Amino acid sequence: MPILFRGASPWAPYRALLALPSARLSTAAGAVARLPSAMCGVSTVLLVARAHGSYGLAGGVSAAGLLATALAGPWTARLTDRHGQWRVAPWAAALAALGLLGLVLCVRYGAPVWTYFATYALLGCAPNTGAMARARWARLLRASEGARPTPGGSRLNGAANALEQVIDELCFTLGPVLAVLLATSFAPAAGLLTAAGLLLGGTLAFVAAGGGGGPAPGAGSAAGRLPWRGLAPLLCCFAGTGVVFGSLEVTTVSGTGGAAGVLLGVQAAGSGLAGLALGAYGRPLRLGRCLALMAALLLLPPLCAATTDAPWLLAPALLLIGTATAPVMITAMNTLHVHVPAHRLTEAMSWAVTAILAGSSAGATAAGRLADGPHPWLGYAIPPMAAAGAWLAVRAGSRERQAPPSTLGGPPARRARTPANGAHHEREVTVRTAPTGPTS
C-alpha cells in the first residue's frame, strides 16, 4: 500500500480509519468478541483434563470444537452476508455461549463423555468476528468514498487488514495466558465461563456499533457460486500458512519446554510490528514474493535446532519469521478482496479461516508425531515445505489467470491463410465474425 499522505506521521492511515463513523467502538468490540476463540481451546483442555486426568480426552474434545468451527463457520458467514450481521451474529453467539455453558455443566455433574463433544461442538456456530470486521471495513470505506472522496481512498483497505491482523495476533497471544490465569487462580471452569461472557457481550457490542453491519448490496443474489477458480490458490495459501503455524507451535513447545511461551510471544510480537509497519508504510506486495521470503526464513529454526541445544538462539529466527508471516496474511486477505464480490466477502473469509484451521490441525498432528521420535527438531522441517507448497499453488494460480490481451468487443481473433505475391505462406490477420444475435 503506498504512503497515503506525504509528510504525515506513520499513524496517519490508522487515524483515518478510526475517524470513520462507529469505527472505534466497532474495533474495540470486535477485539473483545474474538478473544474467546483464543481462550476456548486451552480452557477446555484444562477443564476436562482436571476432571478426568486424561489429556487425550481433553484434546479430543478441543479438536471436536475446531472441526465444528471449520465445517459450520462458512455457513454461518453465508447467512451473515445474506441477512446482515445484526440479524445473525447475536443468535449465533448465543448458541455458541450456550454450548460452552453446557460443557461446564456436563463436566460439573458427571454427564456421559459424549455430551462433552455434543455441547462443545456448538462452538462451531460462533460468528467469525474477524471476517465480519474486515467486511465491515470494506463497506465503511466504500461508503466513505461514495460520499466524500478522500486521499488514499480504498487503499486504506490494506491498513484495515493490517490492523485486524495485529488484533488477531494480540488476541491469540493474550487469550491462552488469560485462560490459564483464570483456570489456575479461580476454578477450572472460570476460563470457559469468561469466554462465554466475552463472546456474547463482545458480539452484541460489535453489532450495536453498526457501521455497515447490514446486508451487503447484492446480498439478495448471494445464492450464486463463489469464484472458486480464483479462490482455490488463496485457500491453498491459507492452508499452508496454517500448517506453518501449527507445526511451528507444537515443535517449539515440545523442544524448548518452559521457554516456549516467551519464544512464541517473540514470534507474535514480530508479526504484530510487521503488520503495523506494512499498514503504515507498505507498498502493494506480491503474494508469491511474500511466501518465498517466508519459506526462506523458515529454514532458520531447523538450522538452529540441528546445530545447538540452546533454545534462546531460536528467538531471533522466530522474530524474523513473525515479520514474514504478517505480510503473507495481509497480502492474501487483500488479494481475496479483489476476487470476491462484496456480498460474499464474509463467507469467503470464513473459508480462509477454515483453511487455516485445517492446515493448523494437520501441521500440529504431524509435528506431534515427530516430537515423539528420536529427533524432535525434525518438526521444524515441516514449515518451510508447507510455505513452499503454498508458493507453488499461488504461482500456478497466477499463471492460470494470465490471459492474452482481449480485443475491443466481439469474438477473439483467429488465424487465416492468405496468399501474398503468389507465394503461399502464413501471416496472422484478425478476422471478426458478425454477431449471431440481435444487436441494440
> What is the Cα Rg of the chain in Å?
25
Give 66's pLDDT tier (boundaries 50, 70, 90): confident
pLDDT of residue 114: 95
Domains 9-215 and 226-400 share a fold: yes
What average pLDDT does the segment 59-86 reach? 86
Residue 372 CB: number of other CB atoms within 10 A? 8
Q: DSSP secondary structure string, 290-337?
A: HHHHHHHHTTHHHHHHHH---GGGHHHHHHHHHHHHHHHHHHHHHHHH
How many Å separate Cα 72 from the centre of its chain? Answer: 16
What are the pLDDT digits (tens) for 379-389? 899 999 999 99
What CATH homologous superfamily does 226-400 map to?
MFS general substrate transporter like domains (1.20.1250.20)
Residue 437 CB: number of other CB atoms within 10 A? 5
For the ranges 23-37, 120-134, 143-157, the lowest mean pLDDT is seen at 143-157
What are the pLDDT digits (tens) for 347-359? 888 888 888 888 8
How many Å separate Cα 156 from the centre of its chain? Answer: 19
Give 371's pLDDT tier (boundaries 50, 70, 90): confident
pLDDT of residue 35: 92
Grid coordinates representing 362 are 494437520
What average pLDDT does the segment 138-142 reach? 81
**How many Cα atoms within 13 Å fall on the side-chain side of residue 325?**
30
Reported residue count of the chain is 440
pLDDT of residue 214: 56
For the ranges 114-123, 130-139, 155-164, the lowest mean pLDDT is seen at 155-164
What are the pLDDT digits (tens) for 312-346? 788 899 899 989 998 898 889 888 877 888 778 88
Distance CA 248, CA 253 (A): 9
In sequence order, the β-bridge partners of residue 427 are 416
Give 257's pLDDT tier (boundaries 50, 70, 90): low
How big, in percent rounded to 5, are the helix, strand and coil portions of the chain?
75, 0, 20
CATH topology of domain 9-215: Growth Hormone; Chain: A; (1.20.1250)
- For residues 382 and 366, the answer to whether their CB atoms sit within 8 Å is yes
Distance CA 21, CA 4 (A): 20
pLDDT of residue 200: 96
Q: Considering only CA atoms, which of 22, 28, 29 is closest in space to residue 204?
A: 29
- For residues 309 and 375, the answer to whether their CB atoms sit within 8 Å is no
- For residues 298 and 387, the answer to whether their CB atoms sit within 8 Å is yes
Quick one: which H or E segment has residue 254?
helix 228-256
User: Any residues with CB less than 8 A from the CB of 307 and at least 6 apart, and which?
Assistant: none
**Does residue 45 surpass a pLDDT of 90?**
no
Give 155's pLDDT tier (boundaries 50, 70, 90): low
pLDDT of residue 390: 94
pLDDT of residue 392: 94
pLDDT of residue 1: 36
What average pLDDT does the segment 211-220 reach? 54
For the ranges 67-71, 110-114, 395-399, the lowest mean pLDDT is seen at 395-399
Q: Where are the domains of the chain?
A: 9-215, 226-400
What average pLDDT does the segment 132-150 reach? 71
Among 193-207, 304-318, 371-385, the range with the most confident prediction by mean pLDDT is 193-207
Looking at per-residue pLDDT, the higher value among 374 and 124 belongs to 124
Looking at per-residue pLDDT, the higher value among 389 and 183 belongs to 389
pLDDT of residue 224: 57
Distance CA 403, CA 401 (A): 6
What average pLDDT does the segment 34-44 reach? 87
pLDDT of residue 415: 41
pLDDT of residue 154: 53
Residue 108 CB: number of other CB atoms within 10 A? 13
* Average pLDDT value over all residues in the chain: 79
> Over pLDDT 90: what percentage of the chain?
26
